[in-house]
Chains A and B, each alone.
Chain A
Amino acid sequence: MCQVVHTMDYVIQAKKLSKSFITRQTFPGIWGAIKSLCFSKKQEIPAIKEISFSIKPGERVAFIGSNGAGKSTTIKMLTGILHPSSGSIEVLGLVPWKNRHALGYKIGTVFGQRTQLWHHLPPSDTFDLLAKIYEIDRPTYESRLKELLDVFEIEPFFHKPVRQLSLGERMRCELVASLLHRPEILFLDEPTIGLDINAKLKIRGLLNRLSKEYRITLFLTSHDTADIEQVCERVIILDQGSIILDSTLKELKKTYVKKKILTLTTDEEHFLLDLAGVKVLENTNHHFVCEVNIETVSIDRVIQETLKKTSLKDVTIEDPSMEEIIRTLYGTAHV
């Protein structure tokens, strides 16, 4: 499969994008249900509040937020399913909701909880149908399919009905289905949901390969922070309809990772360490775990002080998990 050639600076541009929904007020109970028939009021709920972002070709972006933050709404606007209340969007030079069909030829979508594979038929039948949907000529389709079968290793079960496949196998087939027409952008909504560890690792590896080898832009939403860490290079965090962070992962870690977790296996069963900037988390059975504030004290200082009291069998230095970083961010946003 050839690399995608980009001629524009940005593949996605959203400017002051907003979306509101109108809902009806309801009351509880049987009398409430009858009351709702006569007295309910319309309410306008802003789901997305003037968000702006731009994505370059080949970028791997994680688009995350808690449930109800507005992620699915944003993806639906980017793919042309919903039209915005105000603001502008351009995806590959097209306005999505005006040119949904034209855009359809250039984007791929993988919805983790919904399938585009026909349940009772083998994936091969779905792929044949998709070739007609995306108007891929026979020789191109056959060569692309052969390559994708190889890359995603689905040849062993390619002719088995989808209902007989495991979730991991099915997800690999979903990815092949979304790539047959060589899209420039791939939108992935919870692609690793429900998969076991090995399957998740495999999918993440494949996504990385896709992006690096074929220069496909990835736009991913996920609740699994490992998806973000292992696949994406940039993260946009949405909270209550607004963007609270838009940064590369490197910058994120530099800015927010001010603490390291130090795990020591010691000769002494336990020992006392009293240093400013060190918060002891565990100190028994030769196992010492502490949180070190690297703005206050350096890691080597902590180890030096420890070596004065005991000898070390093992040392592990870890960054706080992405989950903790994001939790901190949410905490800051709601203060």
Chain B
Amino acid sequence: MPISLLSSRTQNLKCGGRLNLKTLIFLACLLRTSIRASISVRGAFILESVLMVGNNLIFFSMWWIFFRQFETIGGWQINDMAASMAMLSGAYGISNVCFGGVKNLGLIILNGDLDPFMTQPKNLLLHLAGSKSRSKGWGHLITAVILLILGGFKASSLPLVLMLIVSGAVIVTSLGLIVHSLAFWLGSIESVSQKYLDSLFVFALYPTNIYSGLLQLVMFTLIPAGLIGYVPVELLRAFSWYKFAILMSCSLGFLGVACLVFHLGLKKYESGNKFGMRL
């Protein structure tokens, strides 16, 4: 990266990109506005939330049927599966409700709709991510609550559960950001990006100890199913500070990589040589 462009990045960060109280106030206002926007179309809001709950429960019931016959898989029982799905649903829920703008990022980049965001003096990433709230996120959150109750979790583990869900949300959002930022370089790969992100939900339902070698490594890196499904469940079964610290570091690591990828892509956008840019 040329020094001059790096210095422009840091100058922008000094002014509007930094996280201070005013940015947090802006973020709170942004989230409030986007949630109100999603609720304002009442019919669609209710339909999407309800259908998402149905969608998740259909999926869970398939697994429930399997477990009724076979009791364990990779050492997991049905309540572990319920906990895993609750963590996932919670993570996807928070990601969709608070940072649903990430899903639009590919299209925003392709249509040149980044421009209005760029001329406003606030952290671009937060602004983009928080610019839309998706109703289906509420369906995910309701599913999480239902499954936590069905899975018989104890109220004393609520703080841990919340932290694990937030960690999962950070990873899911970061992964979405990385994958959709690829549009800066690769253009119209929306459908592939979305398939990849949706498949993460499916893969994360299986305990990753059933994999070995390269595939297990993949399950903690490229497809971090292990970090949002397996590890949280293991922590609920038997808490360990070491595993918890590793998980939190990995979440922050993913966030860091996501920010880096986005800013590299933004640099390309600013050069104007982006795929399919409209002049």
B113 contacts A by Cβ under 8 Å: yes
Assembled-state Cα–Cα distance A82/B122 (Å): 18
Q: Using Cβ atoms and an 8 Å threshold, which residues of chain A touch B11?
A: 98-99, 102
Beyond the given pairs A80-B119, A114-B115, A120-B37, 13 more chain A to chain B contacts, judged by CB atoms under 8 angstroms and listed by A's residue number, are A72-B279, A76-B272, A81-B270, A98-B12, A100-B119, A101-B121, A101-B122, A103-B121, A109-B116, A114-B116, A121-B40, A132-B25, A133-B121
B151 contacts A by Cβ under 8 Å: no
Do A83 and B116 form a contact, CB below 8 Å, given A47-B279, A101-B17, A129-B29? no
Seen from chain A, the residues whose Cβ lies within 8 Å of a Cβ on chain B are: 19, 21-22, 47, 68, 70, 72-73, 76, 79-83, 97-105, 107, 109, 111, 114, 116, 118-121, 125-126, 128-129, 132-135, 161
Assembled-state Cα–Cα distance A128/B127 (Å): 15
B26 contacts A by Cβ under 8 Å: yes
Assembled-state Cα–Cα distance A116/B118 (Å): 12
Total cross-chain contacts (CB, 8 A) = 104
* Minimum Cβ distance to chain A for residue B83 (Å): 36
Contact between chains at A83 and B121 (CB < 8 Å): no
Contact between chains at A129 and B33 (CB < 8 Å): yes
Contact between chains at B115 and A76 (CB < 8 Å): yes
Q: Which of A73, A101, A102, A132 has the most CB of B within 10 A?
A: A101
Interface 1/0 per residue, B120-155 and A, CB below 8 Å: 111000010000000000000000000000000000
Interface size of B by CB at 8 A reads 34
Assembled-state Cα–Cα distance A102/B8 (Å): 12
Do A125 and B115 form a contact, CB below 8 Å, given A101-B12, A101-B16, A132-B25? no
Contact between chains at A22 and B15 (CB < 8 Å): no
* Minimum Cβ distance to chain A for residue B11 (Å): 5
Assembled-state Cα–Cα distance A21/B75 (Å): 57
Contact between chains at B273 and A22 (CB < 8 Å): yes
Do A79 and B119 form a contact, CB below 8 Å, given A47-B279, A99-B11, A132-B29? yes
Q: Using Cβ atoms and an 8 Å threshold, which residues of chain A touch B270?
A: 81-83, 97
B22 contacts A by Cβ under 8 Å: yes
* Minimum Cβ distance to chain A for residue B41 (Å): 6
* Minimum Cβ distance to chain B for residue A12 (Å): 15
